[in-house]
Amino acid sequence: MTESAHATLHARRRTAAYQRTARWLLCGVIGLILYGSLFPFQFDTGVLHPLLELAASLAFERASRGDIVANLLLYIPLGLCMAVALPSKWRALTKLALTVVAGIVLSLGVELVQTMEPARVSSLTDVVLNAAGTAIGAAVALTYVAVGTHLRIPGLVESRPAPVPLGFVLLWLSFRLAPFVPTLDWQKIKDSLKPVLLNPTLDAFEALRFLIGWLVIAHAVRRIWRPQYALIVLVALAAGTQLGRILIVGKTVNPAEVVALVAMFLLLPLMRRLTTARRLLVLSFALAAIVVVQGLEPWQFDASAHSFSWVPFKNSLSDSLEVNVSVLLEKCFWYASLVWLLAQRSGALVVSGVVVTLLVGALEFVQIWLPGRSAEITDPLIVIAAAGLIGLFSDDGRTR
């Protein structure tokens, strides 16, 4: 068997494994969609109407940026999972169409139920956004599956990008670039550059936070691309992120991140000289420090304890969705990265997941004495889910 044929066979076997995993994850994703869409589950049964009347009552409503981001991101996982879960022998266009139809049906059903929930506003705009999110997820999944079988990308470590490191890169980009709404308004572009060009201020901890985040991305990129390509890809990611923050609505260039990027590229030669074990150890300790410091801010304790919420995502589903989505994406990145790095360093994913869960749980418990913080069960659950996904999609036998 030739090397090319062997690589193709390996890619197909991995696709079959992803397919089995996606079918299980699809059930979980649908559950999360229903939870996020129908929370707090307070229905007014006195407004029950026939199905056709409910459907006729739906109309297009203006959506805020937060709603746009939330609706897109909520359904992207549905498209990812369903497109992969469908039989491999089906044509890509057929799988894309069926996935989008399924997303529309689910979204329409949710909107109809929301007509009986006073706290929710049902809208056909949400259906369109959900369908778009489903289509984006399906397109990404089908493209990923095609890489290594029908598409060839030079410079990859393997025939197909490793899913776990690729996931961290996409998660970081989502955190930095949400709500993904571009504009070519000249005034917006000037405003985006003002924090750097006019009286820039530097927060040392924020710069350190970005530095650690970008070093994790550099580590992930090295797991995806060969050494001669990794630096080029990293430069493209850094430049693309800053350009995106100039052009995307509501974003500006952060002086702390610019300093962090310069420091990151200066530190890369030193990081490469370290053994893999030491590099993972350094990054793990740095990440843990970032998680602890952020978890204990503002470092002022109240005399009396606040309440602890056992309702998952209670605070994330209230107030400003745009801000909450960004905060949630950032938390997912920090917690999942810490689990991943510890698992690579120790070869024990379960132990790493338990350690990070206990750490995050302890921080949430302490937050009941911190002013302005909302202590809840959400963050430990994020760690558990992250560890599970890393185990399912890891190609490294030591961390499965």
Residue from 130, 139, 23, 147 nearest 86 by CA: 23
Is residue 139 over pLDDT 70? yes
Average pLDDT of span 216-234: 93
Percent of the chain clearing pLDDT 90 (strictly above): 44
| Average pLDDT score, the chain | 85
Cβ neighbours of 64 (radius 10 Å): 12
| Each residue's pLDDT tens digit, 293-322 | 999 998 888 888 888 888 888 777 666 666
**Whole-number Cα distances in Å, 328 to 147, 172, 395:** 30, 11, 26
**Chain centroid to CA 38:** 21
pLDDT band at residue 103 using 50, 70 and 90 as cut-offs: very high
51: confidence class by pLDDT, cuts 50, 70, 90: low
pLDDT at residue number 395: 64
Q: Please give the pLDDT value at position 392.
A: 83
What's residue 202's pLDDT? Answer: 87
The pLDDT of residue 360 is 96
Specify the pTM. 0.86
Angle at 141 between CA 36 and CA 10, to 5 degrees: 135
Distance, CA of 19 to CA of 12 (rounded, Å)? 10
How far are the Cα atoms of 169, 277, 279, 334, 335 from residue 341, in angstroms, in the given order?
14, 10, 10, 11, 10
- DSSP, collapsed to helix, strand or coil, labels residue 58 as coil
Using one digit for the tens of pLDDT, what is the confidence trace for 239-265?
999 999 999 988 999 999 999 999 999
What value does the mean pLDDT take over residues 87-91? 85
CA distances 246 to 213, 240, 326, Å, are 20, 10, 17
Going from the C-alpha of 364 to that of each of 54, 235, 308, 359, the distances in angstroms are: 42, 36, 8, 9
Q: What is the pLDDT of residues 54-86, one digit of tens each?
A: 665 666 677 677 777 788 888 999 998 898 888
Q: Do 181 and 65 meet the contact criterion of CB atoms below 8 Å apart?
A: yes
pLDDT computed for residue 211 by the predictor: 96
Rounded Cα–Cα distance for residues 234 and 232 (Å): 5
Tell me the mean pLDDT in the region 154-165: 85
pLDDT, tens digit, 9 for 90 and up, residues 185-205: 888 899 999 998 888 888 999
More confident residue, 273 or 152: 273
